[in-house]
Amino acid sequence: MKASPKSLLATLHGARQDRPPLWLMRQAGRYLPEYRALRETKGGFLELCYDPEAAAEVTLQPIRRFGFDGSILFSDILVIPHALGQKLWFEVGEGPRLAPALVDSSLASLAAAPQRLEPIYATVARVAASLPAQTTFLGFAGSPWTVATYMVAGQGSKDQAAARRLAFGDRAAFQAIIDAIVDLTVTYLAGQIEHGVEAVQLFDSWAGSLSPAQFEQWVIAPNAEIVRRLKALHPGTPIIGFPKGAGGKLRAYADETGVDAIGLDETVDPDWADRILPQHLPVQGNLDPLALVAGGAALDAAIDRILAAFPARPHIFNLGHGIVPDTPIAHVEHLIRRVRGG
C-alpha cells in the first residue's frame, strides 16, 4: 500500500504503509540544542508549557530538524491537576510537585481553574497553522490512573503506593478523583481537537503498577469512558492508548477500551504483541530508548527486529518510552534512515 500524504494518520485509520511512519515520544526536548537554547530564555518548564509562542516553537523544532511523520504537542500531563485546582511547580533536579496532596486533602477543597488550559489551545492553533502538509499533529493527555498518582502523592513516586493505598482504603474518594480527571480530560482533548490536532494519545505511564483487578478498575474503565465520550464528540479522531507496563494485560486493554491503536513499551516482545493483539489493530513502538543512546550494531538489531515483527499489521515506529536527554543527534538521524530504508 502506498503512503498517504499523512502516512501516520492513515496508519491510525488502519492502512498499513510500505515503511512505517515514525515519531518519537518526547521528541521535543532536552536532547536538542535548539530546545536547550530556548529553555534558557524562558525560565522554568511550566512557564514554557504555558507560553503559546514558545511551546509552539518547541513542538516544531524536531519537525524542522528531522522531518518526523508526527508532531506531538509540547505540554505536560500535569496541566490537568493544575486546571483542577492544585498548585503545580517543578523542583530543579527533583521533578513535579503538587499541593495540596490529596492523600491529606479532599478533592472538594480544590477550586477548579480550567482557564489554565487556554494557553495550550493557543499553542495547538499555532502549530496546526505551521506544520508541513504531510505531518500528522498529535495531541495528548495523561490517563486518569497516572494523573491521579501524582495528585494523591503530590509528586512522582517509585511504586505509586499512596494512590494504591487510597484506592484500597477509600474507594469512593479515589473514584471521585478519577471521575474528575476523566471529565476534564474529555474536555481538554476535545479542545485540542477543535484547535487542530488530528489524533490524540492517552499516556498511562504507571499502568504497570496495578494488579489485574485494579488494572481493570483504574486503567481500563476510565480510559474506556474517555474513549466513549470523546468518540461521541469527535468520531473521526483516532485515539492511541499507551498503558506502559501492561504486559499480559495488553489484550484486555485493547479489547475493552475501544482505542484505535495501542502503544507498546520496550519490555513487550513485538512478535508476541503481533500474535495476541486484534488482527488489524495498529500498534506503535517499541524501541528501547537506551538502544537509541547506545547506537551501533545493538541499535540496528533492535530496529530490524521491530520492523520484522509486524509483517501485515499497521505499525507506527516509535520508542517504548520517551527519548532521554543524552541521546546523540546522529543516532536519531541513523534511526530515521534505517526505518525509512535510506
Task: Give the residue numbers annotated as catalytic, written as ranges.
Answer: 26, 30, 39, 76, 150
The burial class, CB within 10 Å (0-12 / 13-18 / 19+), for 152 is buried
> 294, 227, 215: which is closest to 260 by C-alpha?
227
Burial 243-267 (b: 16+ CB within 10 A, else e): bbbbeebbebbbebbbbbbbbbbbe
> 22, 9, 14: which is closest to 342 by C-alpha?
22
In Å, how far are 59, 192, 247, 306 from 273, measured between CA atoms? 30, 30, 9, 11
Q: Which three cell numbers stand for residue 35?
A: 530546545
Cα dihedral 20, 323, 138, 143 sign: positive
Residue type at position 86: Q
Cβ pair 188, 141 in contact under 8 A: yes
User: What is the rounded CA–CA span in Å between residue 283 and residue 260?
Assistant: 9
Q: Which three cell numbers stand for residue 288?
A: 528501547
Q: Which three cell numbers stand for residue 50?
A: 504555558
Q: Which three cell numbers stand for residue 302?
A: 533492535
